[in-house]
Structure 1
């Protein structure tokens, strides 16, 4: 029997490799003879740089930069060579991710992407030809203005004084912008961005309303942030001629996608499409008897290009059953049945604190995987005895 394990990470808890290892232990606990193929997946968030650098045999470059709440932090980017080009890999989660924002300071009106711009400058110092940026697991919603400021874009108020972008709330003070002092080396570098293609910057489905609460914003702050991003989009349009309000991916990582589009001429891509250029899972899935996937929270957002739904989509082309293991089951989780996930279950079986859940996550993921296989075995035996009809997948 062949089982392919293709999980994403559990945000702020375990990376994809750690989740995959726990699931593999559950499979081997059920039956050591099972051929378990482990393929940890990345979605542009935590683990993006290290996974790609491991595949490409590159190196990690450490750099002190500005963190999401303005403090100096130690971050990094990846560097490798391919086909005569020097390529840098940047992970916004490693410099402005939610994990880097203390829980008592989580307010997207006051977090910045300035450090992302500093990492881009650091990569340019290595004379790179190409930059790949992963957008995911962000703790910011400044529309990428902080990043742009680090690159040399100047934001001005009505008195033509510079506005320093410390968070989304500062966007309301911006009246105009100038790109006259932006780093000229950006013109000679191509930038590709792996992001959630369905996230947009403004409107009822804009990033403030959809993701603001996850980053600590209350209802009043969500509305303030939404107004700030709408105002910011107007300033961008007046200054560059580009309307970023509803462009695909413009809302990625709190609007970092919009900033990259407006100020670096980056090309945004559905994150799974870019990742598949590095990790080929289709062949392994097509020859599997069963697929296990996982993510930290399974809900109505999962079908919008997140790893479990994309894995299920691929599996269904070969009629392979898919089981998802998740940390929490959120609103609209049943929508995932339509994407090809046949069953899902939470690792949390009783009320516990967040701290306890995170501490026990590896053990509980293993136990949930083991338990799921025992249930499959019961169904298989009952089907063969004629007690159950075979369930279509």
Structure 2
């Protein structure tokens, strides 16, 4: 029996790889000779670096960078097993959890640290990049990232501007004379699962900046700043990102990456599954185990488990999903290729206790064992 485990992390608890280990342990209680293939996955958000690095036998790199308030922190990124593809989650250097609630202010926060991660990877020889967007503390359209890569943004008097969302409306000129030369050799793929435009009622500022600390006045100023910047980009670079789907991701970082680095936006889960070669592993599998921390209506809209199920169904392979929690809307995933799903929680327990690694691992192992005990019963029954 061949079982492929391609499960997203349970955020704040077990990684994709750790879940795979627990599932394998449970399966092998029932089927000791089973071949269990663990394929770490993620949907472009948290866990993407771990999934792609572990899934391709790459390496992790730690580097000192600036957080969104230009304070020194240690962040990591990954280089995949091919030695030339860097995987970066922007939240590692520019994420909301890096800033205390009382200091959150998208007028001040910058993506400079994300640019420092890219620069480090470029200098290490990487020429292909996968950038995961999401969880940002910023609304600077990626200008900070670009400043770290050598770009300068100038006001009407051609004075160099500082950092943060507050400079958006002040940018009148773009100076790229000192940009990192190697960027011309680089290709950027952006894992993006939102379709927000750069600005407007559904844009970066209006939809996301409040959770980053913006007041109502700031929301209006940031939205106007993104609109003004889009005009400058069109005039200076002859690129129109004003209505580009996904340009508003991560505080406009999606738009900045497209405009300045010729990045391509793609659904995160599709990108990850292609890179880890899931389809090739699935061709002769008997079962697929997938899942994520919570199965709900968002799962059915195309998150990691449904991405896995979509490929599995090409080969008519049964798909079982495990989750920490289930909502009533999880039944919608049946229409998307998930044949059966289960919560791993066996008895009433506080969330903080359930999320402890040792507890979650115990639950995952135990429920995997019971699922395959049932499969074995059915196997015996229908062989008669």
Q: Same fold (TM over 0.5)?
A: yes
Partner of 1:245: 242
Give the 3 Å change call, closer, same or farther, for CA 24–73 of structure 1 in structure 2: same
Aligned residues: 378
Separation in structure 2 between the aligned mates of residue 254 and residue 327 of structure 1, nearest angstrom: 30
Question: Is the CA contact (8 Å cut-off) linking 2:14 and 2:361 kept in structure 1?
Answer: no
1:192: how far off? 2.2
Q: More displaced, 270-279 or 102-111? A: 102-111
Question: Is the CA contact (8 Å cut-off) linking 2:68 and 2:138 kept in structure 1?
Answer: no
1:314: how far off? 0.8
Separation in structure 1 between the aligned mates of residue 379 and residue 122 of structure 2, nearest angstrom: 60
Separation in structure 1 between the aligned mates of residue 287 and residue 215 of structure 2, nearest angstrom: 42
Once the two structures are superposed, residues 261-303 of structure 1 have per-residue CA deviations (whole angstroms, 9 ceiling, x without a partner) of: 1112223343344434432222332333322112234344334
Partner of 2:192: 196
Tell whether 2:364 aligns with 1:364: no
Partner of 1:90: 88
Aligned runs of 1:135-284 on 2, under 5 Å? 135-142=132-139, 143-157=141-155, 161-166=159-164, 168=165, 170-171=166-167, 173-196=169-192, 198-202=194-198, 203-208=200-205, 220=216, 223-224=219-220, 228-284=225-281
Separation in structure 2 between the aligned mates of residue 331 and residue 223 of structure 1, nearest angstrom: 35
Separation in structure 1 between the aligned mates of residue 218 and residue 28 of structure 2, nearest angstrom: 46
Unaligned 5+ runs, structure 1 = 387-393
Q: More displaced, 105-114 or 67-76? A: 105-114
Partner of 2:40: 40
Give the TM-score, by structure 1 length.
0.77
Give the number of the structure with larger relative contact order, counting CA–CA contacts within 8 Å between residues 6 or more apart.
2
Supply the RMSD in Å over aligned alpha carbons: 3.9
Separation in structure 1 between the aligned mates of residue 218 and residue 30 of structure 2, nearest angstrom: 46
Give the 3 Å change call, closer, same or farther, for CA 317–149 of structure 1 in structure 2: same
Once the two structures are superposed, residues 331-362 of structure 1 have per-residue CA deviations (whole angstroms, 9 ceiling, x without a partner) of: 95444333212333444564735x4343x255
Separation in structure 2 between the aligned mates of residue 179 and residue 272 of structure 1, nearest angstrom: 35
Give the 3 Å change call, closer, same or farther, for CA 270–101 of structure 1 in structure 2: same
Once the two structures are superposed, residues 300-344 of structure 1 have per-residue CA deviations (whole angstroms, 9 ceiling, x without a partner) of: 433454321110101122222223223444695444333212333
Aligned runs of 1:46-57 on 2, under 5 Å? 46-49=46-49, 52-53=52-53
Question: Is the CA contact (8 Å cut-off) linking 2:209 and 2:219 kept in structure 1?
Answer: no
Give the 3 Å change call, closer, same or farther, for CA 86–372 of structure 1 in structure 2: closer
